[in-house]
């Protein structure tokens, strides 16, 4: 009697089937040139770095028009020159350079533009406003329609600027305002955006948010004022306590 061959073990059959399936998947993913490209070619490949610069110091006069008046004071011009020098020294090429259309942001951007050899576009989506907040009593001092309008504007600005980069890393520079930047930071962190009032931010400070290929965001820096001597730092709030609020 011819001895019967032992039947393959079930585990061995499963391993062979799995290997065959994986081989088929790998083959399907190869391009005609034999490289695993194609499927992801249409998705963003780079990281977008969004540099958020708060305008430098200015003397606020409530009776004056925010867009055409309330420009930088002498200290503000010093602060603007310091952030401009820091940005000009970075080993990156600015892809997009945009400022709010408020005079204090426009003037800050002009100083930066001279240092980096660029002229900023202006976008009213980046202008200062007050969005709904979690600070007790603050919303009651503002027109509900204005709060809603600011919220909608912030959402539109986020959708416009915080998007994936299609081919390579990009570096976008936005010169704007304290409320705007604080709202963006909470959105980037996945926090309730109404908590924007819980953050203090310095004039002419540097905040960086990265947008990864999958659309997720990371906070790289917030309100970095290391380029400004302590005696020339000013804040929304008192900052770390060594400077009076201005």
Q: Is the pTM of this model over 0.85?
A: no
Of 92, 73, 87, 86, nearest to 229 by C-alpha is 86
- C-beta neighbour count of 151 within 10 angstroms: 17
What single string gives the DSSP state of each residue in 112-154? HHHHHT---EE-GGGS------SSTTTGGGS-HHHHHHHHHHH
CATH fourth-level superfamily of 48-236: Phosphoglycerate mutase-like (3.40.50.1240)
Neighbours of 154 (CB within 10 A): 22
- For residues 192 and 185, is the Cβ–Cβ distance under 8 A? no
The domain locations on the chain are: 48-236
DSSP 6: P
DSSP annotation of 180 reads H
Residues in the chain: 246
pLDDT digits (tens, 9 = 90+) for 33-65: 333 344 345 577 899 999 999 999 999 888 788
pLDDT digits (tens, 9 = 90+) for 111-164: 999 999 999 999 999 999 999 999 999 999 999 999 999 999 999 999 999 999
């Amino acid at each position: 009697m011819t001895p019967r061959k032992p039947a393959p073990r079930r585990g061995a059959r499963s391993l062979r089937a799995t290997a065959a399936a994986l081989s088929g998947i790998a083959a399907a993913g190869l391009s005609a040139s034999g490289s695993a490209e194609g499927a992801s070619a249409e998705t963003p490949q780079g990281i977008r770095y969004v540099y958020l610069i708060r305008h430098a110091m200015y003397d606020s006069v409530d009776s004056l028009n925010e867009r055409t008046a309330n420009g930088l004071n002498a200290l503000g011009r010093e602060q603007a020159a310091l952030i401009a020098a820091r940005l000009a020294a970075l080993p990156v090429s600015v892809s997009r350079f945009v400022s709010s259309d408020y005079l204090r942001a426009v003037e800050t951007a002009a100083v930066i533009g001279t240092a980096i050899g660029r002229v900023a576009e202006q976008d009213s989506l980046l202008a200062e406003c007050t969005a709904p907040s979690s600070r007790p009593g603050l919303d009651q001092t503002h027109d509900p329609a204005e709060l809603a309008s600011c919220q909608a504007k912030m959402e539109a600005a986020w959708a416009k600027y915080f998007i994936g980069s299609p081919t390579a890393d990009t570096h976008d520079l936005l010169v704007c305002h304290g409320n705007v930047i604080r709202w963006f930071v909470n959105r980037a962190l996945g926090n309730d955006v109404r908590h924007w009032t819980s953050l203090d931010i310095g004039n002419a400070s540097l905040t960086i948010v990265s947008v990864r290929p999958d659309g997720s965001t990371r906070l790289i820096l917030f309100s970095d004022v290391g380029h400004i001597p302590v005696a020339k730092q000013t804040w929304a709030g008192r900052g770390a306590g060594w400077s009076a609020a201005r």
